[in-house]
Amino acid sequence: MNDPAVLLADEPTASLDASRGLEVVRMLAEEARERGKSAVLVTHDERVLPLCDRVLYLENGRLLEK
């Protein structure tokens, strides 16, 4: 990271196997936490959700927190 205020990641695990995908998301979460930054991750891979502090879902054009 180049020290951004917010890290945006759109489907960062899309072309990765399950274990490598989790490793990448863990790394992103750790870097953001250590640097006191925010990270926004867009994904269809629900296996990474336990690594997130907050989860929002896009349903019918609206963001919902469940």
User: What structural domains and CATH numbers belong to the chain?
Assistant: 6-65 (3.40.50.300)
Could you give the CA distance from residue 62 to residue 14 in angstroms, rounded to a whole number? 23
Region 15-40: mean pLDDT is 92
pLDDT the model gives residue 49: 92
Q: Using a cut of 0.85, tell me whether the model's pTM lies above it.
A: no
Residue 43, Cβ density class (10 Å: 0-12 exposed, 13-18 middle, ≥19 buried): middle
pLDDT the model gives residue 4: 85
Region 41-61: mean pLDDT is 93
Amino acid at the residue 22: L
Going by C-alpha positions, the residue among 65, 62, 63, 43 that lies closest to residue 54 is 65
Region 45-58: mean pLDDT is 93
pLDDT the model gives residue 1: 55
End-to-end, the C-alpha distance of the chain in Å comes to 30
